[in-house]
A and B are shown apart, each in its own frame.
Chain A
């Protein structure tokens, strides 16, 4: 029987040690699961552990205790190299800002993971242009370097980069935080649209009411624990 969940976390604990070696319990025993096709926001006050949780799910960091299985893979069993490979095949990331590689053009940034996967140039080109068109990124921006793009344009390119390889899961850590509300709203609508069409799973961390409004499921963290978990109709 195939795994019904894309993400399964069980008793996740993450303890950081700050400079004075005082332990900080960023995650304090979190258990939750994400099914394929979800469009879920993780909310909570600053310091409640949202970023930490996304990083663990994204295999960017490892848990102090607990298990985490993503796409059927127990992440704690993977080497550094295998985790990179895993991210390349399964995940897309969108960070708050400065998502792009400065020396690559918008199009080159967007096709980065396809290049790493060894996809032929023509197919890459086709996919990137389709994604750009879909996200309303104008033709003339494709050759520009990130420094010559506005914050909203940069975020759209980052979304395009996360989407082109059709990952199973996109992890977005406050993707709208650096954008004005109009740009943020447009981007969010696009992502929701894509979620409907492609069934790609989205997991956000956010403070932004716009994101919270659009999410179909809202998980709220407080002091590293799940305070509430509601699914909207």
Chain B
């Protein structure tokens, strides 16, 4: 098509200006991809930490537990619930028992949540077994009298691996119950907040401490496969468990803060995109106004030769599209390279990101490429380019040919 040919060749008439434009688009795309991948990486990590450490994608508990997580609000008939969950494809789950209490060393004490787990089952839903930095994850031996805790908590209590601590909880009957345990392992998760407040032990050992009946649990933590729709699965679970006196809550229901944080990050993305693309847009408008004034005479010749006003506009749109395509191409290649390297090494923010880890984002951020978001970003660049050349293009198509021809 002749117009495409003219548009393409026109780009290379002023290679310097075109490269400036292409670079502007490329830098824009690169910044967009980089920042969005960073923010999404952070967000994904925050959410993943929250999901993995705090009850999974979907949590099942006794009715009212979410409002008031009391020991007595429990799921009775734990094995039946487990059987129902077993019938669902692609679910990983484990039951926990949770009680709040106090932990003491010789010098210090702290309020914590004690979590009783089935050590083998818990490995399916929790990252903690893989996060041990000293000692080991819980053994299957309920009689061993061992607990594990976060490194941060151990530091606060001034205790070392292998030393003893005393746990105190109020049991099911409401009486104070206490026991002494040896520290079997220390873990460090992405969230120091979590690490400071949780102590894990074998569920049977916990039964002994709290007086919990054997076939009961406080919660089921459920992890979904990536391709499963959380709302669909939770609705199905609610149906399947309707006979039971339980509540089924997704992480979206449980963590409005996290949802809000996620939304804020999305908003940050949007603001960034608007600023970035407006800047590129104005660069394009400027250059194209220059372009049409340089080419007034040619546009006049084309118009005299029978090129319709719409075709003049098309010509400029094509030219802008080529510039944007080239810029986006360069930007994508650049981003792919840098993101590849970045996800391999991670971005270590430990020097100045103390705050991040409190929220559970870890200090090493890896980029996350959300295809949908990236694609809509690119679509937006084209929309922006279209808008940017709209004014110059309309202007060019409305030139009085006679005036254009008088233009040297």
Contact = CB atoms under 8 A, between A and B. Distances in A.
A87 B311 CA distance: 15
Contacts of A161: 305
Interface in B270-305: 297-298, 301-305
Interface in B216-261: none
B395 interface: no
A91 B306 CA distance: 9
Nearest to B9: A103
A81 interface: yes
Interface in B380-408: 400-402, 405, 408
A6 to B, nearest CB: 18
Interface in A100-139: 100-104, 108, 112-113, 115-116
Given A98-B297, A102-B298, A116-B2, A55 B307 contact: no
Contacts of B401: 55, 60-61
A232 interface: no
A60 B307 contact: no
A81 B2 CA distance: 19
Contacts of A116: 2, 305-307
A85 to B, nearest CB: 7
A60 B304 contact: yes
Nearest to A167: B306
B6 A104 contact: yes
A117 to B, nearest CB: 8
B156 interface: no
B281 to A, nearest CB: 26
Contacts of B5: 103-104, 108
Contacts, number: 67
B310 interface: yes
Contact of B306 (A55, A61, A88): A88
Interface residues of B, number: 23
Contacts of A81: 308-310
Q: Which one of B303, B309, B310, B402 has the greatest number of beta carbons of chain A within 10 Å?
A: B402
Contact of A115 (B2, B304, B308): B2
B10 interface: yes
User: Main secondary structure on chain B at its contact with chain A?
Assistant: helix
Nearest to B401: A60
A113 B308 contact: no
A95 interface: yes
Contacts of A195: none
Given A101-B298, A112-B2, A93 B304 contact: yes
A84 B402 contact: no
Given A101-B6, A101-B298, A112-B2, A87 B305 contact: yes
A142 interface: no
B13 interface: yes
B304 A87 contact: yes
Contacts of A31: none
A103 B304 contact: no
A89 to B, nearest CB: 8
Nearest to A55: B402
Interface in A64-114: 80-81, 84-85, 87-89, 91, 93, 95, 98-104, 108, 112-113
23 contacts: A55-B402, A60-B303, A60-B304, A60-B401, A80-B309, A81-B309, A84-B308, A84-B309, A85-B306, A87-B305, A87-B306, A91-B306, A93-B304, A98-B301, A98-B408, A99-B301, A100-B301, A103-B5, A103-B6, A103-B13, A108-B2, A112-B305, A116-B2
Interface of B: 2, 5-6, 9-10, 13, 297-298, 301-310, 400-402, 405, 408
Interface of A: 55, 58, 60-61, 80-81, 84-85, 87-89, 91, 93, 95, 98-104, 108, 112-113, 115-116, 161
**9 nearest A-B pairs in the assembled complex, by CB-CB distance:** A88-B306, A103-B9, A84-B308, A60-B401, A115-B2, A61-B402, A87-B306, A93-B304, A81-B308
